[in-house]
Amino acid sequence: MKKKLSIVDIANALNVSKTTISFILNGRAQEKRISSELIERVMKYVAEVGYKPNSLAKSLRTGKSNTIGLMVEDISNPFFASIARLIEDRAYKNGYKIIYCSTDNDTHKTRELIDMFRDRHVDGYIMAPPEGIEEDIQSLINDGMPVVLFDRHLPKVNTDFVEVDNYFGAYNATKHFIEQGFKNIAFVTFLSSQTQMVDRVKGYEEAIKSENLEAVVKEIAFNQNDELILEPLRDFLKTHQDIDAILSGNNHLGICCLKIMKELNIQVHSDIALISFDDHDVFELHSPSISAIAQPVEAIADNVITVLLKRLNALSIPEKSQAIILKTDLQIRNSSIRKLL
């Protein structure tokens, strides 16, 4: 078990003071006008023995950890997983590490996670916030921490966020249903006051209203246990035999709809048309293929990290916070059209 080297070991071995080593290692050699010969010697030795500064000590001293805390709703949901991957990659390239966690939309758990991140001295926060976490985020911001929200935002909290135009995405998909001649279009969503969900419902309702149709919104309580989502859905479909199209509020619900329809032997497309918010591998592969309102995951990840890095590098006066709204992309597949492609 080889002992871990410290900066003092290096300094002693080279007969130089540790300050000098520190300066050289932190690229302040020029500024301090250290002889390039010495720099060379130090760098060579450091590489040779494989010395790595102890980042714990460094963080303790500088107050910076070069870590970003990322909180998604559920890392096993492909939408969040892919965004997390992209953010991780970009952060990594910019010298930041990511610690990520799933909130499960649980306010209490989220609060604990924020505490943990805080405790770990993360330099910035990226999160898809659950409801009821406003105060905690505000307190983070008050303490000068950069916070970027994505997928949704908190109206009461003034900070940067990146999301898609949920209203338009749902509006547009609903209009598409109507154009295809569907009349009894239901919207299935989670019981939630999160902005993205609220906007999606609104978009749906406006589109329905504009055509003088009747809005049917089925709200289901969010639950980790899938069976508790499938059950109300099953009831809903059984008691609403007249429905000819469903718009689901996210991919999780979309998949639940598919499961129930399979179970009840309801044919997707010929019995009930379907469009889901958020794309998913399943949708493309399904027979018939399922239309989806795809979110531009790369663009979301890019914008999130860009905004955060800007804050992180900002020297002083915090700029006004920005809201970045991206466009969704309606992927029309077989599940939502009258005639199969």
Partner DNA sequence: CTGAAAGCGCTAACAT
Partner DNA sequence: ATGTTAGCGCTTTCAG
CB of 129 to a second copy, least distance (A): 19
Q: What residue 26 binds from a second copy, DNA, none (CB within 5 to 8 A, per partner kind)?
A: DNA
Write out the H or E segment, with its range, that includes residue 32: none
Please tell me whether residue 16 binds DNA under the rule CB under 7 A.
yes
Residues binding a second copy: what is the number (CB under 8 A)?
43
Q: Are 242 and 271 spatial neighbours (Cβ–Cβ below 8 Å)?
A: no
Close Cβ partners of 190 (under 8 Å, ≥ 6 residues apart): 197, 219, 220, 221, 222, 249, 250, 253
Of the candidates 270, 287, 313, 316, which one interacts with a second copy according to CB under 8 A?
287
Please tell me whether residue 60 binds DNA under the rule CB under 7 A.
yes
Spatial separation of the C-alpha atoms in residues 74 and 81, rounded to whole Å: 8
Please tell me whether residue 118 binds DNA under the rule CB under 7 A.
no
**Across-strand partners of 124?**
68
Describe the chain by its helix, strand, coil percentages, rounded to 5.
45, 15, 35
Interface mask toward a second copy for 16-45; x: CB under 8 A: ------------------------------
Question: Looking at beta carbons only, is 116 or 221 nearer to a second copy?
Answer: 116
CA distances, 320 to each of 128, 161, 307, 308, 323 (Å): 20, 12, 12, 13, 10
Please tell me whether residue 38 binds DNA under the rule CB under 7 A.
yes
CB of 139 to DNA, least distance (A): 18
CB of 40 to DNA, least distance (A): 11
Spell out where the chain has E strands: 67-72, 97-102, 124-127, 147-150, 160-164, 185-190, 216-220, 245-248, 273-277, 291-294, 323-326, 329-331
> Which parts of 241-280 fold into alpha helices (H)?
251-263
CB of 66 to DNA, least distance (A): 11
Please tell me whether residue 119 binds a second copy under the rule CB under 8 A.
yes
**Cα dihedral sign, 40-41-47-50:** negative
Spatial separation of the C-alpha atoms in residues 83 and 80, rounded to whole Å: 5
Q: Are 125 and 91 spatial neighbours (Cβ–Cβ below 8 Å)?
A: no
Residues binding DNA: what is the number (CB under 7 A)?
27
CB of 124 to DNA, least distance (A): 19
Please tell me whether residue 54 binds DNA under the rule CB under 7 A.
yes
Q: Are 336 and 176 spatial neighbours (Cβ–Cβ below 8 Å)?
A: yes
CB of 227 to a second copy, least distance (A): 14
Of the candidates 2, 4, 93, 339, which one interacts with DNA according to CB under 7 A?
4
Q: What are the residues binding a second copy (CB under 8 A)? A: 1-2, 52, 54-57, 59-60, 65, 74-76, 78, 81-82, 84-85, 88, 97, 99-102, 115-116, 118-121, 142-144, 255, 258-259, 262, 281-282, 284-287
Binding residues vs DNA (CB under 7 A): 4, 6-8, 15-20, 22-23, 25-26, 28, 32-35, 38, 53-54, 57-58, 60-62
